[in-house]
């Protein structure tokens, strides 16, 4: 399904970056046995040169700066233990001095835990979006156009921060099930699998 969606939304001969969790890439379903690329991180999809990177790798890299399209599959969530450790660090407090039952609860509403986890998601989203062609800056300081697709990501979080992370970018285009105007953000997130964001601005790297 993901491959079909990407083929429908990218032109032939395009360079594409796909970012996914390592466990998904480990299955090797993204490559055929007779693929012309030897690297496990590259594949030919109907004339498109597709590059693959798992979350947690590639930050700061220019390897994929010639790709105009990036597809981010899901989100890269911070481990609960890491978030709690960051709380202790920020509060200069040892773990034994923290309310671990409250902070470690599956649906913890602690504001600091929420801020740490959301900032991690947003940083990862922007970092991985910035691996592609918008890294190419012209003499006027304008970045090359880039297309970012988020598949099953945290849509409500992206909506609330989109204009600050990607100033002057296009409105988010929802691709998937039709939304009703009265739908809540949570309903929209549940209904929409694919979102598309065009980034034509220089304030992104």
Rounded distance, CA 112 to CA 45, Å?
43
Rounded distance, CA 201 to CA 176, Å?
26
Instruction: State the average pLDDT over residues 154-180.
Output: 77
Q: What is the mean pLDDT of the chain?
A: 78
pLDDT band at 170 (very low <50, low <70, confident <90, very high): confident
pLDDT band at 59 (very low <50, low <70, confident <90, very high): confident
Model pLDDT for residues 98-136, shown as the tens digit of each residue = 665 666 666 667 778 788 888 999 999 999 998 999 888
Q: Are 4 and 151 in contact (CB under 8 A)?
A: no
Asked whether residue 183 carries a pLDDT value surpassing 50, the answer given is: no
8-22, 102-116, 140-154, 169-183: which has the minimum mean pLDDT? 169-183
Supply the pTM of this predicted model: 0.78
Rounded distance, CA 8 to CA 185, Å?
27
Burial 110-119 (b: 16+ CB within 10 A, else e): beebeebbee
Q: Compute and round to an integer the Cα radius of gyration of the chain.
A: 19
């Amino acid at each position: 399904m993901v491959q079909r969606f990407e083929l429908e939304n990218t032109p032939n001969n395009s360079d594409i970056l796909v970012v996914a969790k390592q466990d998904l890439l480990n299955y090797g379903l993204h490559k055929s046995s007779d693929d012309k690329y030897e690297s496990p991180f590259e594949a030919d999809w109907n004339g498109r040169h597709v590059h693959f990177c798992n979350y947690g790798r590639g930050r700061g890299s220019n390897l994929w700066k010639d790709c105009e399209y990036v597809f981010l599959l899901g989100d890269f969530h911070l481990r609960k233990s890491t978030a709690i450790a960051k709380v202790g660090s920020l509060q200069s407090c040892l773990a034994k001095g923290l309310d671990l039952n409250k902070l470690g609860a599956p649906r913890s509403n602690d504001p600091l835990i929420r801020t740490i986890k959301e900032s991690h998601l947003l940083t990862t989203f922007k970092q991985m979006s910035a691996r592609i062609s918008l890294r190419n800056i012209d003499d006027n300081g304008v970045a090359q156009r880039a297309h970012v697709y988020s598949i099953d990501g945290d849509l409500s979080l992206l909506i609330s921060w989109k204009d600050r992370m990607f100033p002057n970018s296009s409105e988010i285009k929802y691709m998937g099930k039709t939304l009703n105007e009265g739908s809540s953000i949570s309903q929209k997130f549940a209904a929409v699998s694919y979102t598309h964001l065009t980034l034509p601005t220089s304030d992104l790297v």
